[in-house]
Amino acid sequence: MSDNFYLKRRSVLARKMSSEPIKDEDLKIILDAGIRVPDHGALNPWKVIVIKGEKRKLIDNEIILSEFEKENPNANQEQLEIESKRFQRASVILAVLSTPLEHPKIPEWEMRLSSGAVCMNLLSCAQSFGYAAQWLTEWYAYNEKMLTFLGGRKEIDKISGFIYIGHKIEEPSERRRPDRSKIINYL
């Protein structure tokens, strides 16, 4: 990893990935690095669910497509085709759940932030290996059936994101970055 990795880091859109398998040893390192995040009280208020192989197609058909059809009865064939292959665009999808606990001193907000840090660590580590990776939520991150399928508790847990990991079909193009002068202040 070069010294300026974070200055050049760029997500690859899931639709621009190929789904050839990634190395198991790389996935293990990505997962181990992903959970090394700030975590007040060492509560581990998150879970990571690894989705690969045939489970991608199962989730596409039984959850994503079926829930999309239920909510969009007039969807056209092109839309249905897109929804039927969401998870199959990548080699592996890492679903990150925010699973806050009751604690007398640690606010839920800090636990939610820790879950976001897991997402960013997973994403950055995958990209540091040269894999195509993107952190997505999309509509199904807010779907109750998806949440419960992943082991989440209704009205408590939330899906922080899906980290898609695959291989680059093409190098990503640069996008507009924030204007430092508008968002960074010195006191």
Domain boundaries, the chain: 9-170
CA 77 to chain centre: 26
Both tokens of 174, joined, read 């640069």
Which amino acid, 98?
S
The sign of the dihedral angle between the CA atoms of 34, 37, 40, 42 is positive
Strand partners of residue 163: 94, 135
CA distance 117 to 163: 12
Fold (CATH) for 9-170: NADH Oxidase (3.40.109)
Pairing of strands 92-98, 132-136: unpaired
- Which tens digit of pLDDT belongs to each residue from 76-120? 999 999 999 999 999 999 999 999 999 999 999 999 999 999 999
Both tokens of 18, joined, read 């190929």
| pTM for the whole structure | 0.93
Cα 100–101–104 angle (5° rounding)?
125
CA distance 88 to 55: 9
Q: Counting every residue, how long is the chain?
A: 187
Both tokens of 141, joined, read 């991150």
CA distance 20 to 26: 14
Q: Which residues lie closer than 8 Å to 179 by C-beta, 6 or more apart?
A: none
State the Cα torsion 96-99-105-106 to the nearest 10°.
10
Of the CA atoms within 13 Å of residue 112, those in its CB half-sphere come to 7
CA distance 98 to 182: 31
| 172, 115 Cβ separation under 8 angstroms | no
Residue-level pLDDT, tens digit, the chain, 187 residues: 456 888 888 888 899 999 999 999 999 999 999 999 999 999 999 999 999 999 999 999 999 999 999 999 999 999 999 999 999 999 999 999 999 999 999 999 999 999 999 999 999 999 999 999 999 999 999 999 999 999 999 999 999 999 999 999 988 878 888 899 899 999 9
